[in-house]
A and B are shown apart, each in its own frame.
Chain A
Amino acid sequence: MAVVIILVMLAIILYNIVAGGMGIISWDFLSKAPEHGMEEGGIFPAIFGTVALVILMVIFVIPIGVLSAIYLQEYTTPDSKITRMVRIGINNLAGVPSIVFGLFGLGFFIGFIGRGMDTFLNNAQGPTWGQPALIWAALTLAILTLPVVIISTEEALRIIPRELKEASYALGATKLQTIRRVILPQALPGIFTGGILAISRGAGEVAPIMFTGVAYYLPYLPNKLNDQFMELGYHIYVMATQSPDVEKTKPILYGTVLVLLVLTFLLNFVAIMIRSRIRMRRVDA
């Protein structure tokens, strides 16, 4: 019964979005910038910004998350006080509301690091780093999605048979060699799962990037790390709440939602494909 309700709800939502948004989707819509106060034109800058943001986020979050998981799983004893504290910290991090991450990003990345970089680099012509930018938004999202990556990587590390590690040690391998040659390859599918989950979470978040980098409207595409950018989720929010003529922007709004959904699904799909290919390779090759 519960399953039926969920499926029906999902179907209604999807139908609503597809029916409302399908009509506007065209090559122009996907490849052009908004025009006339966003009442016409396309959403390409927002698509571009979302993809750039998510890719940067993954570049930040995967190494940090994977290294943290390896440290927790391979270098600490599970019952030690520090490990338990770190674990509690990770779980709490996962429960913090996303708007708090946005404020943290504003205060820490922009206010502290960005301003600091400006002072250090002695920028005379106003702030270059100490302002909302793509890199700060990506870093903020990376922190938001860090627990997801750590937890799924740890899960993958935990199920690696002890026998494999022992085989490696018994052949004279050091711990680092064992991690690099045996443990990491085995954990790859789990790391990808973490990446997938991080992407689905990160691509849909609006609150963390509101203060840290996203722009209402930009006439150009971001091409530097300290550029601002447009983003699909924020674009939807802007059009739904800030538009002078809601009726006129409605089709664009629906279209944008549809694109965001498809994009998220697509990113997930690609990641799942990569993951299953790795799994296949492990079994036959």
Chain B
Amino acid sequence: MRTWDLIKVANRNLFRNKLRTFLTVMAIFVGSFTLTMTNGLGDGMRDYVESQVKNIEGDRVIMVRKKVERPVGGPRAGTPAEYKGDVGPEGGSDFDPNSILMTLPQMEAAVKEIDGVKSITPRYNIEGEYISIDGGKKYQLELGMLSEGITAKTEAGGPLSGDGQIVIPIGLARAMNSNISELIGKPAAIGYKLADGTMKTISLEIVGVATKGFMTNYSSFVSGGTARQIHEDQRPNGRTDSFIAFTLQLNSNDPAIISNAKSKLSAAGYEGDTIADNDKRTYDAIGIFKTGMNLFAFVALLAASFGIINTLVIAVLERTKEIGLQKALGMGRGKIFAIFSLESVLIGFWGALAGSLGGISAGVIANRVLLSVYASSFEGFNLFAFKPLSIAFVMLLVCGIAFAAGVMPAIRASRLNPIESLRYE
């Protein structure tokens, strides 16, 4: 028998008992629908997070922290860190095992064995008070720093290119001027408090308006050099400069150089992550969440696959004589197996098709409803995202499960003895 004939026969057999086929397909539909939705949910979250984190870029920087035993009360509560003994005056040593903070000389010691270091920038903690332009309205200022090598995507203007500049968030920019590109190149008055509480005002040039994202929705950013100046103004006199993290910029984004730098940092008692590492961690978390959700859909599909087995076992009994005749007339075992397997796969296919279409429709409707409710807080967020590859994966998976469910009945059918089958009452 030709393959196309086999498919036609299988499909016709399914339509012989419409109600039974429909009910079995419905069970598969429920499973496929759930799987489409859970997959869509995971993809939707990933898309949203991706659109948010992608606004901060930097392919040759490593954010470095000190590896420390977690403090009491942390994730490893109950194992307090032992005091390592006094290692000299604070900041005097290349590595202080008793603190997670680092001084600038300690940072330099940490990277001195690493090849291709371009710069290091400590994470300066700075606090702004207000921003205004042309002597106009003062707005509250959330101030942050972009280390050398890290840039924020901009809607207007461009990234920071040196000290004395500032990139502002789009919300703030629109408040100051509805035509945000007119702000580019303008001096902004920035107010911040000194260590003694008095206000200091400096002028920074607005070079860019940042694209929306997790980190860029509210914060304005200045360069490392500008941040250091503000930090020093805000630091109480007499206190040693020490920082919780620093950014290491390398000369190249060559993966070998990056991984070499990371392993040297690790050997020196530090841990370093690139922006890609951080993003990957987030994506992995979403991936785990998605897999967990998909497991529920698998359970539904598993239940449905027993429906397929049941349907086919009954079909084999009903069609025993027919199978006997086909075998007597020379149809081989393989073809009998193929017909029943195809019936099974077709049940899966129709169920998966209906489930995918149903899932997509439900997701699109859900997105619309949620958009109208949460639009203000999650701009650009679609709870469900449907990707052709994911849908194709669901379809293939369901057909695969259906095929597996059909194997046992199909083997039974293929092994029937023609004489006994023709005698079967």
Pair from one complex: no
B-to-A contact residues, CB < 8 Å: none
A-to-B contact residues, CB < 8 Å: none
